[in-house]
């Protein structure tokens, strides 16, 4: 139940964080390796669990054990708890396995009573020090144990300061401090309806109980819910002998990182204050000094600290975040823990530690949180500048990065001003494929509705373009070209900044930094590549994206969407003519006009990815997405196409669907209009032949979307093969033209009958976006009306569009893999949904044995790293 640590005995070690909490376990560990740690003991989390179980009651034996442990501290320190001559004071701290805001933090100086205060005065030789310690205890104890508002103590302190004309706390002398102690006691008595306890053990017991109670305080419970922290027993309580950094000019306190946590540079990094306690270093009232100045102040201590730093790093084999105190020239270590670091530092440190031989390369790979790589790849706001900017509202962080620009309220405006060289942020209620061109020309995208997988979010992530969605507080008047957020109205020439990593919408311009990739990044990626089993491809629709993804290490394109290609320039008019055609010849004529565009697109992409596979998905979205919906655009189309406005409207109306996601799209389009497939396959085949004749190793794969029936794929595969053969003959091409033909598994039925679909497929690519939509019956465009409630009520722990739902959607994936491979052991299996770049999901895809994942270009490094981590498993 209780684990002691000290010079004479140390029980427990760093691995026992579940039982001792992070603080307690690391103090025991430091103590056990001989570092100077003030002695202490930790009451384990089991006691907390029993306290809860007993309805908030500390079991009888515990306080006896505590007393025995205090006796241990007395032996170790030679001091005595509550003593009038040489009193032992202790700190009481909570500590769970995971650090958690909202729980009671710390009570210092516990054990001070009127009696022992006199002892402290005597031992320290300073009345002011003793009273200062005392008032701090009453304040902290009153606050966290008795629930007395901190402000009440604050007010009392202010009166004293006024009375003694003291500007700062430190200006209050011994007399003032004494008076303050009395005043605090009076405040305590009035608020708590009882005197401040004069029995040190009563103080201790009540402090321990307060820590345990704080485990179930609303803030702590909410924090655990939000962060999905489950399975913990409770919090531990660490009671440790106090040491004081504020006992004069030969005392001090400091905090340090064993390496630079921002850059990862291997240089000791920290700050210290003379004659101060640890809390003063972080409180920011006095300005601490850089650590290397410590050498001049106390070289012995500094050298000892350097040695300890090395010991700790070698021991923990990781960046440590440490706290220390020097009491009258003696160094004490008060804390060590794994240090938080930026993405760049994480990479640098992991690679350095491996090169230094402290960890092996596998461990280095495990050490870097994959998601943190985003920070290395995308621009971000300078934190200092951002702090001073006004946050107007916070939306959903749909696509990371940082963008600053003027405002465009329509796609057309974004294109126009973008081409003029103006950086604009496109602001829309939501986006649709009609807005693609405008989104492309904007530096960032902000929408007031939609979720993490809305159109804007998906497209932006694909491009690595900064995007914030679902910012409900943004009221947009697109007609009037202005927006209002909580009373602030902005017009086209106002500047807005959006942070795609946090969802923040900020007023004005904020400085941005675009990171340079350190060489450690390439080293780590190379290590990852040598270890991972999963292939990593990218989702890319343009040669530029393809090129970028290739630079990030993509081994092919797993999803090349063809629909975006039809929105550029004049093509959209031909596309619309094709859609509005009423007869097959009309449609074929329009398709013929589209063919050269498509061929050119494919030549570009196949060339950019030469030597690597390029999976091209045939037209997928409902045709309705391509036709103009506003009257003005309809009139323009009427003029351009020679069709009557009435007919255009009729056709647009006829194409509208109740549930377009479940409507006439995907391979269903090719079943009803085979000529669309024929045009696309012709373009792919002609592009391939054209590349091959230029000795470019083009390797297209044709992917037929939304198949749910074996017959669909069988029929369309035949049509595809026939078309390829026709083109080959027409082009008199005699070389090899092995174009694999496969399908997406994105309709639940496809997974269920995957065995028979596999008979006519060369590969499966899981379209987990649609598969998630249909398996849950959740429209990703409409999910925002209930998803927040689901997360809040813990009916879902994560958004299933971000992290794959293993038990439902995952079950379909497992089934499809099993059935597909039963039919054809050589069947290639990949995934090209949004989940392809999500770390937790990639672990799942490794587990089910997919051949590759495909994700947005910017997530390729993340996927490469996670794929390696998934192969390595836990150490």
> Which sequence positions are flagged as catalytic?
455, 832
Which lies closer to its own copies via its Cβ, residue 206 or residue 710? 710
Among 711, 730, 759, 818, binds its own copies (CB under 8 A): 711
Which lies closer to its own copies via its Cβ, residue 103 or residue 832? 832
CA dist 468 to 405, 450, 839, Å? 14, 10, 21
CB of 80 to its own copies, least distance (A): 54
User: 780-794: buried (b, 16+ CB within 10 Å) or exposed (e) per residue?
Assistant: bbebbeebeeeeeee
Which of 41, 24, 28, 113 lies closest to 77, judged by CA? Answer: 41
CB of 637 to its own copies, least distance (A): 21
Stated as kind and residue range, the H or E segment containing 425 is strand 424-428
Among 715, 731, 733, 803, binds its own copies (CB under 8 A): 715
| Segment interacting with its own copies (CB under 8 A) among 74-82, 119-127, 549-557, 667-675 | 667-675
CB of 805 to its own copies, least distance (A): 7
Which lies closer to its own copies via its Cβ, residue 437 or residue 805? 805
Report how far residue 534's alpha carbon sits from residue 860's, in angstroms, rounded to the nearest whole number: 12
Q: Are strands 87-88 and 80-81 parallel, antiparallel or unpaired?
A: parallel
Give the Cβ contact number of residue 105 at 10 Å: 15
226 near its own copies, judged by CB under 8 A: no
Backbone dihedral angles phi then psi of residue 613, each to the nearest 5 degrees: -70, 145
CB of 769 to its own copies, least distance (A): 12
CB of 759 to its own copies, least distance (A): 14
Binding to its own copies, residues 761-820 (CB under 8 A): 770, 773-779, 781-782, 785-786, 789-790, 793-796, 805, 807-809, 811-812
| Segment interacting with its own copies (CB under 8 A) among 327-335, 357-365, 504-512, 661-669 | 661-669
Stated as kind and residue range, the H or E segment containing 631 is helix 631-641
Beta strands, E only, 551-682? 557-561, 613-617
Which lies closer to its own copies via its Cβ, residue 303 or residue 811? 811
721 near its own copies, judged by CB under 8 A: no
Binding to its own copies, residues 116-135 (CB under 8 A): none
Among 254, 261, 556, 748, binds its own copies (CB under 8 A): 748
CB of 153 to its own copies, least distance (A): 38
Report how far residue 425's alpha carbon sits from residue 438's, in angstroms, rounded to the nearest whole number: 10
230 near its own copies, judged by CB under 8 A: no
767, with CB counted inside 10 A (0-12, 13-18, 19+), is buried
Among 46, 663, 726, 872, binds its own copies (CB under 8 A): 663
486, with CB counted inside 10 A (0-12, 13-18, 19+), is exposed
Residue 23: CA count within 13 A, CB half-sphere? 26
Report how far residue 451's alpha carbon sits from residue 471's, in angstroms, rounded to the nearest whole number: 10
| Segment interacting with its own copies (CB under 8 A) among 8-16, 180-188, 244-252, 708-716 | 708-716
C-alpha triplet 325, 329, 335: angle, nearest 5°: 20
Residues forming a β-bridge with 107: 92
306-325 footprint of its own copies as x/- string (CB under 8 A)? --------------------
Among 248, 628, 660, 740, binds its own copies (CB under 8 A): 660
Backbone dihedral angles phi then psi of residue 270, each to the nearest 5 degrees: 180, -170
Among 49, 146, 544, 671, binds its own copies (CB under 8 A): 671
CB of 807 to its own copies, least distance (A): 5
Report how far residue 331's alpha carbon sits from residue 311's, in angstroms, rounded to the nearest whole number: 15
CB of 428 to its own copies, least distance (A): 15
174 near its own copies, judged by CB under 8 A: no
Report how far residue 240's alpha carbon sits from residue 107's, in angstroms, rounded to the nearest whole number: 11
CB of 568 to its own copies, least distance (A): 25
Among 67, 664, 692, 821, binds its own copies (CB under 8 A): 664
Which lies closer to its own copies via its Cβ, residue 607 or residue 768? 768
687-706 footprint of its own copies as x/- string (CB under 8 A)? -------------------x
CB of 624 to its own copies, least distance (A): 10
Among 230, 388, 479, 659, binds its own copies (CB under 8 A): 659
Beta strands, E only, 35-105? 40-43, 80-81, 87-88, 90-95
Packed helices 127-144 and 150-163: angle between N→C axes, nearest 10 degrees: 150
43, with CB counted inside 10 A (0-12, 13-18, 19+), is buried
Which lies closer to its own copies via its Cβ, residue 388 or residue 807? 807
Report how far residue 723's alpha carbon sits from residue 609's, in angstroms, rounded to the nearest whole number: 24
Which lies closer to its own copies via its Cβ, residue 449 or residue 690? 449
Which of 831, 782, 789 lies closest to 809, judged by CA? Answer: 831
CB of 472 to its own copies, least distance (A): 10
Spatial CB neighbours of 104, under 8 Å, sequence gap ≥ 6: 94, 144, 210, 211, 213, 214
Report how far residue 422's alpha carbon sits from residue 428's, in angstroms, rounded to the nearest whole number: 18
Residues in contact with its own copies, total (CB under 8 A)?
48
Q: Are strands 252-257 and 269-274 parallel, antiparallel or unpaired?
A: antiparallel
Which lies closer to its own copies via its Cβ, residue 427 or residue 669? 669
Among 752, 791, 848, 872, binds its own copies (CB under 8 A): 752
Which lies closer to its own copies via its Cβ, residue 659 or residue 734? 659
709 near its own copies, judged by CB under 8 A: yes
Which lies closer to its own copies via its Cβ, residue 310 or residue 630? 630
Report how far residue 307's alpha carbon sits from residue 15's, in angstroms, rounded to the nearest whole number: 23
Which lies closer to its own copies via its Cβ, residue 430 or residue 501? 430
User: 222-246: buried (b, 16+ CB within 10 Å) or exposed (e) per residue?
Assistant: ebbeeeeeeebbbbbbbbbbbbbbb
CB of 397 to its own copies, least distance (A): 22
744 near its own copies, judged by CB under 8 A: no
Spatial CB neighbours of 440, under 8 Å, sequence gap ≥ 6: 418, 463
Binding to its own copies, residues 346-405 (CB under 8 A): none
Among 672, 734, 825, 826, binds its own copies (CB under 8 A): 672
825, with CB counted inside 10 A (0-12, 13-18, 19+), is exposed
Residues forming a β-bridge with 3: 42
| Segment interacting with its own copies (CB under 8 A) among 155-163, 282-290, 337-345, 750-758 | 750-758
Which lies closer to its own copies via its Cβ, residue 227 or residue 513? 227
CB of 812 to its own copies, least distance (A): 7
Q: Which residues here bind its own copies, judged by CB under 8 A?
A: 657-664, 668, 671-672, 706, 708-709, 711-712, 715, 746-749, 752-753, 756, 770, 773-779, 781-782, 785-786, 789-790, 793-796, 805, 807-809, 811-812
């Amino acid at each position: 139940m209780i684990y002691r640590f000290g010079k004479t005995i140390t029980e427990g070690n760093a691995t026992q964080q579940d039982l001792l909490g992070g603080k307690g376990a690391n103090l025991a560990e430091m103590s056990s390796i001989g570092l100077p740690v003030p002695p202490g003991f930790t009451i384990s989390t089991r006691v907390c669990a029993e306290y809860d179980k007993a309805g908030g009651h500390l079991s009888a034996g515990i306080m006896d054990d505590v007393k025995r442990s205090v006796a241990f501290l007395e032996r170790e320190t030679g001091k005595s708890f509550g003593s009038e001559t040489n009193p032992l004071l202790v700190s009481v701290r909570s500590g769970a396995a995971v650090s958690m805001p909202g729980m009671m933090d710390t009570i210092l100086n516990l054990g001070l009573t009127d009696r022992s205060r006199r002892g402290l005065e005597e031992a320290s030789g300073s009345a002011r020090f003793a009273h200062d310690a005392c008032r701090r205890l009453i304040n902290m104890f009153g606050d966290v144990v008795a629930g007395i508002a901190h402000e009440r103590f604050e007010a009392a302190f202010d009166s004293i300061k006024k009375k003694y004309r003291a500007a700062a706390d430190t200006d209050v002398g011994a007399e003032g401090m004494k008076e303050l102690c009395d005043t605090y006691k009076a405040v305590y008595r009035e608020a708590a309806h009882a005197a401040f306890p004069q029995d040190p053990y009563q103080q201790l017991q009540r402090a321990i109980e307060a820590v345990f109670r704080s485990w179930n305080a609303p803030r702590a419970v909410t924090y655990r819910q939000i962060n999905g922290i489950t399975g913990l027993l409770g919090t531990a309580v660490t009671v440790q002998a106090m040491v004081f950094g504020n006992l004069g000019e030969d005392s001090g306190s400091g905090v340090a990182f064993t390496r630079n946590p921002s850059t990862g540079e291997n240089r000791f990094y920290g700050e210290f204050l003379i004659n101060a306690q640890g809390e003063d270093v972080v409180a920011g009232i006095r300005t601490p000094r850089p650590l290397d100045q410590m050498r001049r102040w106390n070289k012995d201590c500094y050298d000892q600290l350097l040695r300890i730093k090395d010991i700790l790093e070698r021991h923990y084999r990781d960046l440590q975040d440490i706290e220390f105190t020097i009491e009258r020239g003696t160094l004490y270590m008060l804390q060590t823990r794994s240090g938080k670091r930026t993405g760049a530092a994480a990479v640098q440190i992991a690679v350095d530690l491996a090169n230094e031989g402290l960890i092996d390369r596998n461990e280095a790979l495990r050490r870097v949180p994959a998601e943190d790589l985003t920070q290395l790849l995308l621009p971000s706001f300078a934190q200092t500048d951002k702090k001073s900017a006004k946050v107007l509202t916070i939306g959903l962080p749909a696509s990371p990065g940082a963008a600053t620009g003027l405002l465009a309220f329509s796609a057309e405006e974004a294109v126009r001003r973008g081409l003029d060289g103006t950086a604009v942020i496109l602001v829309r209620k939501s986006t649709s494929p009609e807005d693609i061109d405008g989104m492309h020309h904007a530096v960032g995208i902000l929408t007031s509705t939609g979720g993490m997988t809305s159109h804007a979010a998906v497209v932006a992530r694909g491009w690595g373009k900064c995007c914030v969605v679902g910012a409900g507080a943004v009221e947009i008047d697109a007609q009037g070209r202005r927006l209002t957020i909580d009373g602030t109205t902005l017009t086209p020439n106002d500047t807005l900044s959006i942070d795609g990593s946090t969802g923040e919408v900020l007023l004005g311009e904020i400085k941005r930094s675009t990171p340079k990739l350190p060489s450690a990044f390439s080293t780590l990626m190379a290590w990852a590549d040598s270890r991972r089993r999963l292939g990593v491809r990218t989702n890319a629709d343009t040669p530029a994206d393809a090129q970028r993804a290739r630079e990030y290490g993509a081994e092919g394109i797993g999803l090349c969407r063809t629909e975006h290609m039809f929105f550029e320039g004049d093509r959209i008019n031909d596309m619309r003519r094709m859609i509005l055609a009423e007869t097959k010849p009309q449609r074929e004529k329009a398709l013929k006009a589209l063919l050269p565009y498509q061929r050119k697109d494919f030549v570009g992409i196949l060339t950019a990815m030469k030597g690597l596979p390029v999976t091209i998905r045939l037209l997928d979205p409902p045709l309705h997405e391509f036709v103009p919906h506003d009257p003005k655009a309809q009139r323009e189309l009427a003029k351009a196409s020679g069709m009557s406005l009435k007919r255009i409207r009729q056709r647009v109306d006829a194409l509208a669907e109740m549930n377009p996601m479940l409507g006439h799209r995907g391979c269903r389009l090719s079943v009803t209009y085979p000529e669309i497939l024929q045009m696309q396959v012709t373009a792919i085949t002609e592009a391939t032949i054209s590349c091959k004749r230029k000795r470019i190793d083009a390797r297209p794969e044709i992917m037929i979307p939304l198949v749910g029936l074996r017959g669909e794929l069988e029929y369309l595969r035949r049509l595809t093969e026939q078309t390829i053969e026709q083109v080959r003959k027409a082009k008199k091409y005699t070389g090899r033209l092995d174009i694999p033909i496969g399908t997406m598994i994105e309709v639940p039925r496809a997974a269920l009958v995957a065995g028979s679909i596999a008979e006519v497929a060369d590969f499966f690519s899981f379209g987990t976006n649609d598969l998630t939509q249909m398996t849950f019956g959740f429209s990703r465009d409409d999910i925002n009306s209930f998803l927040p409630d689901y997360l809040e009520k813990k009916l879902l722990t994560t958004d299933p569009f971000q992290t794959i739902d293993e038990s439902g959607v995952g079950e379909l994936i497992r089934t499809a893999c099993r059935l597909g491979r039963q039919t054809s052991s050589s069947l290639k299996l990949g995934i090209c949904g949004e989940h392809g770049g999500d770390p937790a999901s990639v672990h799942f895809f490794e587990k089910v044995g997919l051949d590759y994942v495909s994700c947005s270009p910017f997530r390729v490094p993340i996927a490469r790293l996670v794929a390696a981590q998934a192969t390595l498993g836990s150490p």
